[in-house]
Amino acid sequence: MIVRQFNRKFVLAVALVCVLPTAMLKAQDTLTVSLSKALEIAMSESPTIKVANKEIERVDYSKKEKFAALFPNISAAGSYQRALKKQRVFFSIPGMPSNPDGFEMGQDNTFNAGLTASLPIIYPTLWASLEMTETDAKLALESARSSKLSLVNQVTKAYYTILLTQDQYNVFKRSYQNTVENARIISNKFKQGTVSEFEWIRADVSVKNANSNLVSAESVVNMSKLQLKMLMGVDMFTGLKVDGKLDDFQKNMYGDVLMIDTTSLTKNTDLNQFDLKTKQLDHALKIQKASWWPTLAASFNYAYMSMANDGVDLRWFPTSTAALQLSIPIFQGGARVFKEKQLKIQQDQLKDQRDNLRRSLEMQAISYLDNIKKAIEKIESNKDGLRQAEKAVSISKKMYEVGSSTYLDLSNAELAYIQAGLMYNQSIFDYLSAKSDLEKLLGKDSK
């Protein structure tokens, strides 16, 4: 017995030494959050939202980049050319002296500098591509909204998970306290000689098992808090305290269910993104058809040029040109026709895929609503079961004290209480989880 106590104290001392640095590291202000506060922090600090916002900003710059093609394209250029071997010209004209060696032409040095400008005047494919930029921007916004809805769903369910684990911890804690109290009563009876040593040993083992369950439940609570902090985008070593309990949410569950409209999927982000991608394909077909039309572009060139031999002063003279260029596509081996046929087939595919997606979403909505209804029924049933289980524990304890029941009856009542408490909390969590999934599917924004 003395050795066992020494080992226990040694293990406790080692654990304290190991945990102390971590505890000091975590000595920061504790953050107390409600569901609305957790969502508010996540919307401002979560990397998921920051990435989505940067994607919107990137698409905006992409839109401006495409509009820049409507403005003149101006560039400056300069060049220098050195003649290493000049070209020779030979003449063979009757009445003139022959020149078998020829004459050198050109200068030793050639300098060029100038400006060039071009401007599209008629460019159907460019105009059609500019129309697609509006759809790209809308798709980026909808994608950001989808990220927001997903994060809201994840944070909400993580928050509910913490409440679930905390309530389950409270169930195990109360069970542990009851078990300790029962063990104390049995220990006194064992000392008085009214119960056997075997019964006292069973009570002592029950205390240790209850303590193990309590420690495991506490570990689950800590892990669920880490999950919420990760989703919120806060430091992992920040203390976190969550307000409320699951029972607070079941009070308004009937009103919440009546406010849910499952008849419309107009705000579903998956359908909206699908529709925008369909519009992108329509624009792609329009761009492809625009490639059949002629294009007209204007250009202007202004340059200075100088040619001189070594040792001769440079003399610059300007040159300038203005031009219109008309391009008429005539034949490309049928490539444009085949491309249009591919795009039309893709349009038909998207239409069938959208119908299938809508049916799948409708099935999910019906399933979530059915889960909500079933969870509400379980909540009412499990609530009565928990009340009865608490009463049974109290009665069995008093009966055992007066000797009218056995320890097995006491243990069974305690086990029934644990099961009833866990089932009650789980049914509330199932209701809240299904409700959160349904709101995400319907595209309900958080307030």
Tens digits of residue pLDDT in 223-254: 999 999 999 998 888 899 998 888 888 777 76
Q: Is the pLDDT of residue 27 over 60?
A: no
Give the whole-angstrom CA distance, residue 340 versus residue 391.
Answer: 75
The answer to whether position 78 is within a domain reads no
The answer to whether position 314 is within a domain reads no
pLDDT the model gives residue 79: 93
Instruction: Looking at 317-406, list the stretches that DSSP marks H as alpha helix, in order from N- to C-terminal side.
Output: 335-401
pLDDT the model gives residue 28: 54
Q: How many domains does the chain have?
A: 1
Q: What is the pLDDT of residues 161-210, one digit of tens each?
A: 999 999 999 999 998 998 898 888 888 888 888 888 888 888 889 899 99
Closest CA to 247 of 164, 135, 367, 338: 164
Q: What is the pLDDT of residues 91-140, one digit of tens each?
A: 766 666 666 677 778 788 888 999 999 988 888 888 888 888 888 888 98
The answer to whether position 100 is within a domain reads no
Q: What is the pLDDT of residues 143-161, one digit of tens each?
A: 999 999 999 999 999 999 9
pLDDT the model gives residue 25: 39
The answer to whether position 410 is within a domain reads yes
Q: Is the pLDDT of residue 3 over 50?
A: no
pLDDT the model gives residue 398: 85
The answer to whether position 275 is within a domain reads yes
Give the whole-angstrom CA distance, residue 431 versus residue 250.
Answer: 9
- CB burial string 82-102: b at 16+ within 10 A, e below: eeeeeeeeeeeeeeeeeeeee
The answer to whether position 64 is within a domain reads yes
- What's the DSSP call for residue 27? -
* CATH code (residue 53): 1.20.1600.10
- Find the mean pLDDT for residues 315-320: 87
The answer to whether position 224 is within a domain reads yes
Give the whole-angstrom CA distance, residue 413 versus residue 198.
Answer: 20
Computed over every residue of the chain, the mean pLDDT equals 84
Closest CA to 234 of 418, 94, 29, 421: 29
The answer to whether position 68 is within a domain reads yes
- For tokens 């200075």, the residue is 304
Domain range enclosing 381: 37-73+122-292+336-442
Q: What is the pLDDT of residues 77-100, one digit of tens each?
A: 999 998 888 888 777 666 666 666
